Amino acid sequence: MAAKAGYKNIKIYTAGIPAWKKAKQLVVVKNSWLAKNLDIHHVIVDVRPTQQSRPSGIKTSLSFETAQLETMSQQFKQKKVKSSHKNLPNLVDKKAPIILYSEKTDSADVVKAYQTLRSWKYKNVTILDGGFKEWTHKQLPVQNNVRLTKINFVKKLVKGAISPENFKQFHDSNEGLVLDVRTKKEAKAGKLNGSMNVPLDTLEANLASVPKNKEVAIHCVSGTRANIAYNLLKSKGYQKVRFLNNNITIDKDGDYKID
């Protein structure tokens, strides 16, 4: 596929190809797709100046004008904050799907906002094709006189995943097995109380230690290895198994935090 033509000085690609994102080129989403995804699993941000965004905006969107983002960038710079810790308020998940919009696709403010959030290491930032002008022309859902500023993002669970809230309840209940598939070195630095550590690369050889008659919740550090372990156990006939698809940090006392 080729870059979408018709815009000056920028390249816009209509498919989410990883290499294109890695090159920090702009990625857009169609307004017909967004109209079907106005939910808590997508973060929709109106970056227009306040005087433009106040009368109306896309339904469920929140307002963070580009000037605000630039101010936050300057504050981060002064405090020497690492890129991985530069976050929108209440949005620590760097894989959260963020859709930005302004009046038009190639408005200078939305391009700048896109570049800013990408520099903060958000991986799934896109721009609404056609902007708010085309959105209203097609009479798609809007909200009037509402400017949401608090992000209430809920990560969409993939097949087999367990939510952070349910994982905590599961761990606290002591009614099943929490399976830690990190390395021995990682587990030595901090391990959940009552969990069993079986490194992923040794899991298949140690399946006998994982009971099939108990519910099992698997975790690693970010969810990648836990997902692999989940698929392995499912292929071996385990039915009561789920995995944590979130970042988790554990201290030496067993206290933990899930992002």
What DSSP designation does 144 have? E
Residues of the chain with confidence (pLDDT) below 50: 1-17
Q: Say yes or no: do domains 12-144 and 161-258 share a fold.
A: yes
Asked whether the beta carbons of 223 and 244 are under 8 A apart, the reply is yes
Residue 13's pLDDT is 45
The H-assigned helical ranges of 120-163 are 131-137
- pTM assigned to the model: 0.72
So what's the pLDDT on residue 144? 82
The confidence score (pLDDT) of residue 92 equals: 87
Q: What is the pLDDT of residues 70-92, one digit of tens each?
A: 999 999 999 999 988 999 998 98
Domain ranges of the chain: 12-144, 161-258
- What residues pair up with 143 in beta bridges, in sequence order? 57
| Element spanning 12, H or E | strand 12-13
Q: What is the pLDDT of residue 55?
A: 78
The pair of structure tokens assigned to 42 is: 């997508």
Q: Which of 198, 219, 217 is CA-nearest to residue 209?
A: 198
At the fourth CATH level, the homologous superfamily of domain 161-258 is: Rhodanese-like domain (3.40.250.10)
pLDDT the model gives residue 5: 37
Alpha-carbon distance 34 to 61, whole Å? 11
CB 170 within 8 A of CB 162: yes
Six token digits for residue 71: 């101010």
Class of domain 12-144: alpha beta
Sign of the Cα torsion 228, 247, 258, 203 reads: positive
Quick one: DSSP state of residue 145?
Answer: S
Q: Which pLDDT belongs to residue 147?
A: 63
